Chain A
């Protein structure tokens, strides 16, 4: 049907129009019609394509490794060698409790993660609050960006910069000596302190972002209303701001806790012999001369189970709705 009433008009725009001619050619070609076009119009094929790859990927690579690790953690020997018992056993888990050298670092790891989480929360909360509520909206992004930039540097570089700060010949010691406060450098590196300092430095961002977005969502009039009703700064914080930022606290703490437990390079570089934490123990079971994979797998399973349960319990008790990963 041709619309005779419509007057053809000359082109008004100077630039030549560019339409996607290839689409029409592709879609209307016999090749396309008989292949993709045919498949795409079949609902079951569509569903299979949509669901196939994701489900296989998730099953094989998200679940598979964990399940395989769980499997191996119950094996008496892995890899199976001829002539050696390769049945299922609980010994690998028993092995963990057999030696202080194993479970002390584990306990230390958990305590360490808790300490780091709490310190990060305490340090970052006022900062997040300041950026979200005190800084004027137009400057807010800039204030946040200043804090974000250092995090793009990457884990190792940041760890290295902490070493530079805290080493015996590092900036702090050099400065103190120049100023005449000390004669001999204070040993700060390779201690629990340097490790915590470094890990807080590495992970503060994971606390900052969830806290910031939670606090930013609190309506400012609500805070004003509270002070209007006679609440002092402390009351305002405890009765209004803190409960309303709960979601952010829960996600921030969960993220920091889980990441701290799995942090690996920083302890190797910043922790000393007195600050051996669990990841190093596990690593030696895999990388050392004595290849103890089943034990390593069992230890990893313990660590995974304990850390996820801790976070799960924490979330249940505090009552956050969900962990937002971003």
Chain B
């Protein structure tokens, strides 16, 4: 199947400053794709290039197979939900949603049918005559979403639309956004710096850093198998340890880590022997026991810090070799621990080798 959106070797420079470099990205129809990254990583520029508000310096963008890089925004069939919604303050909710339809030259009753349909989709039928200033943040968000959906775009672009909402409302809107995407079957391209939003809603996450794609994949894949240190750190939290490769057999590499032999998943890399590599360990993948287990990896350490976080507790464990590891325990696991001396270990496949 032909991808809906395709970036081919796209570069964007501001002067000599690269905002986006060598971007190759294909987005399949009907998917919820998230561009995730810190501010300044090029995700918004990518979105604005697709929307038509920035010209790529080089490369080509295709929408439904047709090159669109140099078309003005009004001649591209994509619509944006802006960060602060950009609702027209002088138009009622209805007229805001109808804006794109009016420009298409639709008949009155066709416009009206579409607007009513969309309003009922987000249960705002009773607010049709209100002005944007009379709506709450969540309602404005929904109106902006419906306004962008109204002209039936090939792709809906969402530019950090949830960042202005408070935490509770944001979670609610995440669920609603996902369900609207599923109901309408539209392709959503969502831009955010919030990893939780990305993990909750996306089919595919594209992690960007310094104008380049770091890694692309499903949320579970990115979480469990981060390819780079940046991804491992940006999505969730990780412990990083560096060891020298001793041997590799199949998918498992054996490493020398300050005198201990540990095992880790090669994670698609092909490490050479004697090379120093980085391993990422999720805090919740570590086990923590009061007695040395038999036949399993176990390193002796001492709890030097505890932070209670409600559903779980974060422990800082300082090992005998001086390294500190972050361990995350649920209340059940925590209840088995008394005293500060512990043994730490992990399953081989939970430790992943990073490419950098």
Contact = CB atoms under 8 A, between A and B. Distances in A.
Query: Do the two chains touch directly in the complex (Cβ atoms below 8 Å apart)?
Result: yes
B185 A3 contact: yes
A5 B102 contact: no
Nearest to A27: B103
Contacts of A11: 112, 116
A25 interface: yes
Main secondary structure of the interface of B (DSSP, over half): helix
Interface residues of A, number: 22
A184 B113 CA distance: 86
A20 B101 CA distance: 10
A164 B18 CA distance: 73
A83 interface: no
Contacts of A7: 117, 120
Contact of A21 (B107, B128, B185): B107
Interface string B90-126: 0000110010011111111001110111101100011
B102 A20 contact: yes
B129 interface: yes
A28 interface: yes
A121 to B, nearest CB: 40
A12 B107 contact: no
B295 to A, nearest CB: 54
B112 A12 contact: no
B321 interface: no
A24 interface: yes
Given A3-B184, A19-B98, A9 B120 contact: yes
Given A12-B126, A13-B128, A24-B103, A19 B112 contact: yes
A12 B102 contact: no
Given A5-B183, A9-B125, A24 B104 contact: yes
A13 B116 CA distance: 10
Contacts of B94: 17
Contacts of A23: 102-103
Contacts of A19: 95, 98, 101-102, 108, 111-112
B72 interface: yes
Given A7-B120, A8-B113, A19-B95, A13 B102 contact: no
B117 A8 contact: yes
A145 interface: no
A8 B103 CA distance: 22
A1 interface: yes
A6 interface: yes
Interface of A: 1, 3, 5-13, 15, 17, 19-21, 23-25, 27-28, 41
10 contacts: A3-B183, A9-B120, A10-B116, A17-B115, A19-B111, A21-B108, A24-B102, A24-B105, A28-B104, A28-B105
Interface of B: 72, 75, 94-95, 98, 101-108, 111-113, 115-118, 120-121, 125-126, 128-129, 152, 183-185
The 9 closest A-B pairs by CB, nearest first: A24-B105, A28-B105, A9-B120, A6-B117, A5-B183, A19-B111, A23-B102, A12-B125, A19-B98
